[in-house]
Structure 1
Amino acid sequence: MSPTNNKKAMCRYAGAQNQNVQRTALPEIIDRIVNSLDDPECFAHIGEEPIHFSTSVREMIEKFRNILFPGYFSDAKIDSVNVSYHMGQEITRLYDILSRQIIHVLRHDCLRYDRECSECERRGNEAAFCVIEQIPVLRQKLAADVRAAYDGDPAAKSHDEIIFSYPGLYAITVHRIANILHQRSIPKLPRIMSELAHSLTGIDIHPGATIGERFVIDHGTGIVIGETSVIGDNVRIYQNVTIGALSLPKDAGEKLRWAKRHPTIEDDVIIYSGATVLGGDTVIGARSVVGGNVWLTRSIPADTKIFMEEPRLIIKNQPKETDSEGN
């Protein structure tokens, strides 16, 4: 055997021996981890209704998009011959997925927190039906969002481009669905949906936020819209905008859980990139413009423009380098 092959053989043998040592020690580690599950200060979810997986939520959202924008995200050809059959299949499948997800989260809370029966099956089926029933209205609202994005963005070359590729529209689509579930007091699922959209787009909209028609998110990355925000019609916001709450005291969780903590943005407002608008009593009046990087914690009246003073730029000329001959 050559020296090189001999070294390789020795390496494999030593590696296998080392792995055996580690694996032999695993049972002790496993026992310690299992025993730690009894620690009341930590969290475990054992013996209750399983928590549903985000992959199921992702599948559900894609089904919604197939129905809200037929033909855009489906591999199947849809035409006048098969449209009724195709949509019937998609809608029925969506109803089954959605009702199962809702029943799951309702039953989870009943079992985990030892609550009285909340009639999970009935409530889940009724809530799923309610959402499906609102799809025609959802389609109209989203169509208005698409047109508003196109009307205000010269970079958009078609409505199709916005539907296929704009992260703002994806986030708004998910929000409008999640908001319906939130209004029906369905736990967990609306927030899981919004956080999935957040992870994909960088846009964080709490499902409790109230958002009017023709809402446009331009670019989108870094946007935060809090739970009790109220946003009117024809509002446009740019990247890195925060519509959030003021700094809260340490014990604010229970005291302010149901209070209005986030601003109201009235109709036809534009908020430019980097702006931060905070506080439940803060109202941005209709047709106002909030400039970039503005920090705002008080109300402004309608038809107001508020900007940061332009910073003073310091421009220094770089000295010209000379070569060895002084040129």
Structure 2
Amino acid sequence: MFGSLPVRERHGSPSKSSIAEARTSEANLLSVLRQDFQIIFKRDPAAHHWLEVVCCYPGLHALAIHRLSHYLWQRHLPFFPRLLSHIARFLTGIEIHPGATIGKGVFIDHGMGVVIGETAIIGDDCLIYQNVTLGGTGKESGKRHPTLGHSVIVGAGSKVLGNICIGSQVRIGAGSVVLDDVPHDCTVVGVPGRIISRSGPFCPLEHGKLPDVEGQVIRTLLDRIEKLEQKIQKLS
């Protein structure tokens, strides 16, 4: 039912190739929805039963509606894709523009306050926490939202802004503001986002173990001030 509308041949019957394309499109959509559902049990230890996942996970609801609205958006259907997006925002607190491209196996955890812009691209198996913005930096046209690689983790409250590329297996700490490209296999924290580790083995983002970049800078400055004060006292 979600497949491409078959193109009619001269005599009014759909071509075999168009029917095959329609069935393939429908099968792909169902496969992606199945992976969106299954990934929740791998990502969330609080998921115990399939019924509670189907009924009580707003991230899954928002993604399911987005899959349909994006399908309609790709076929240049006016009004309805944006209407579906608006309904999803009302029901889930998650705003995903129908033009955004989202890979399979993506999990939006909790989800409230998540905003994903029109030209954003999200790779497979990404994890996005609540209050995350994948947005633009102004009124520029064209590609103006970020591109996320595969298996990216975006911590709660993070903002990834502009037409930038975030490499695969990147971890973005909670509350970070990322404005520049990030290579693969890095951990980014802070405002603005700073890379604190590179090319390490991929592991889940443990916010309690992330360094406090601003705190480290302040402590360094205080140590420097203390040493200068000691030198001044010796000279006086």
TM-score by length of 1: 0.51
Is 1:266 the counterpart of 2:149? The answer is: yes
Q: Partner residue of 1:151? A: 42
1:219, 1:210 → 2: CA distance? 20
Aligned partner of 2:57 among 145, 166, 181: 166
Of 298, 301, 307, which residue of structure 1 is paired with 2:183? 301
By how many angstroms is 1:131 displaced? Answer: 7.7
Q: Which amino acid aligns with 2:111?
A: G
SS of equivalent residue, structure 2 residue 48 = coil
Larger relative helix fraction: 1
How far residue 223 of structure 1 moved from its aligned partner, in angstroms, is 0.1
> Aligned partners of 1:226, 1:170: CA distance in 2, in Å?
18
Which residue is equivalent to 1:7? none
Identity of counterpart residues, as a percentage?
Answer: 40
- In the TM superposition, 1:62-101 aligns within 5 A as none
Structure 1 Cα separation of the partners of residues 50 and 25 of structure 2: 23
Residue 178 (structure 1) shift? 0.6
- Is residue 2:209 matched to residue 1:209? no
Matches within 5 A, 1:23-172: 134-172=25-63
Are 1:286 and 2:177 matched, yes or no?
A: no
Are 2:137 and 1:235 aligned?
Answer: no
Q: Given the superposition, is the C-alpha separation of residues 131 and 217 from structure 1 closer, same or farther in structure 2, using an over 3 Å criterion?
A: farther
How many aligned residue pairs are there? 178
- Deviation by residue 1:76-117 (Cα, 9 ceiling, x = unmatched): xxxxxxxxxxxxxxx6xx99xxx9xxxxxxxxxxxxxxxxxx
Counterpart-to-counterpart distance in 1, 2:36 and 2:184: 23
Shift of 1:166: 0.5
Aligned to 1:121: none
How many Å separate the matches in 2 of 1:247 and 1:228? Answer: 13
Q: Where does 1:242-261 land on structure 2 (aligned, <5 Å)?
A: 242-248=133-139, 252=140, 256=141, 259-261=142-144
1:304-319 equivalence runs, <5 A:
304-308=186-190, 310=212
Pick the aligned partner of 1:276 from 159, 172, 187: 159
Post-superposition offset of 1:137: 2.4
SS of the residue aligned with 2:137?
Answer: coil
Amino acid at match of 1:304: C
1:181 paired residue number: 72
Report if the CA contact (8 A) 1:147-1:159 is conserved.
no
| Larger-Rg structure | 1
Q: Given that residues 131 and 177 in structure 1 are in contact (C-alpha distance below 8 angstroms), is that contact kept between their aligned partners in structure 2?
A: no
RMSD (Å), alpha carbons:
2.1
Moved over 6 A (4+): 130-133
Report if aligned partners of 1:265, 1:285 keep a CA contact under 8 Å in 2.
Answer: yes
Which residue does the alignment assign to 1:61?
A: none
CA distance in 2, matches of 1:192, 1:181: 11
> In 2, Cα distance between the equivalents of 1:150 and 1:232?
19
| Structure 1 residue 191 corresponds to structure 2 residue 73 | no
Shift in Å at residue 150 of structure 1?
Answer: 1.2
Which residues of structure 1 form unaligned runs of 5+? 1-90, 100-129, 313-327
SS of 1:156's partner is: coil
Q: Aligned partners of 1:134, 1:228: CA distance in 2, in Å? A: 22
Point out the structure with the larger strand share. 2
Q: TM-score, normalised by structure 2?
A: 0.71
Q: Gapped runs of 5+ residues in structure 2?
A: 6-20, 191-210, 216-236
1:24-56 superposed Cα distances (whole Å, 9 cap, x missing partner):
xxxxxxxxxxxxxxxxxxxxxxxxxxxxxxxxx
